Structure 1
Amino acid sequence: MNWLNKLYDPTIQWALQSKKLVLGIATVLLGISIYIFTTMGGEFVPTLDEGDFVIQPVLKTGTSLKRTVEITTKIEQILLDKFPEVKQVVTRIGAAEVPTDPMSMEESDVIIILKPKKEWVSASSKDELADKFKEALAIIPGMEVEFTQPIEMRFNELITGVRADIAIKILVRTYKYSAKRGMK
């Protein structure tokens, strides 16, 4: 630590005597930093292949628990029967007793645990498998599906309060105006 103290005083003296050079170096470093920041990608957390899927069935608001259970059971049956890549399917419906999750009562998560990729026969990539899942689930009326990954979904929820990868928030003063803007 003494050697650092011995270096400190001469360095400060030199910096005070060479103000233009120090400011020039600082300006160049600031410029380089700004350039790197503007050319850097917008996503700081890279997408990680978690190896599993979460399907979020989007049902009409107010869908009964009985109907939600029927739909998610049908989803589970289709995935387990038609896709040998699927090892296990677990469904979670509704919000937890402790309100730590922004999930509402009529929402559900269908967590799909996949077998190792070398055992896949229906598809060669996760995107292709997701497309095949969508095709197979299209027979269920009144439902849209969103695909994500378990950790990615929770991360999106924590950051934005929205479960999807992309969210649009419209902030206005009146409901009438917001409904009109939302339809555009």
Structure 2
Amino acid sequence: MAVPGVAAFVDEMAGWTIVFVLGQAVDWRRGALVVDTVGVATRSDIMSRVRSKNTGPEMLVRRLVFAAGYRYRLHGKKLPGKPDLVFAGRRKVIFVHGCFWHLHVGCVLGARIPKSRVEFWTLKLEGNRRRDEANRVALAGLGWKVLTLWECELADRDALCAKVYAFLDDPG
């Protein structure tokens, strides 16, 4: 029997059912009912704005480095992890990581796991952290020096400048 305003999508192989009730997604997984607090269109709009390149923190670091006279390439596609800034002549790279997405240990933002779908988010974020470490090791194996800047470190501009300049000016 069809109910007005209700549509259901079931994937038996994946073991999930999503029911749309008047535009709200109600997700039934592992016997727990999870209701999103925003509509499907709003959630889609929010997630479409999450970027992997040209983020606010990355743009801040790029402006700082460029203003200091350093020149770089962006998002080195041939290097492990596609570093945000690549200084090929110096064989150095800089990653600008968001504390939440890359699980920054010891940071308030990095220590926060969403309350819904805890298992999914734990696996996702821990996987990101492991991938970051593997990329760091691979780059070191290729003879590259790596600096990782965290979103929470960008607030102190003087400390950030000192850290970046020391990394780029170090001949070793």
TM-score normalized with structure 2 length: 0.27
- Computing the radius of gyration over CA atoms, which structure comes out larger, 1 or 2? 1
Pick 1 or 2: higher relative contact order, CA cutoff 8 A, min separation 6. 1
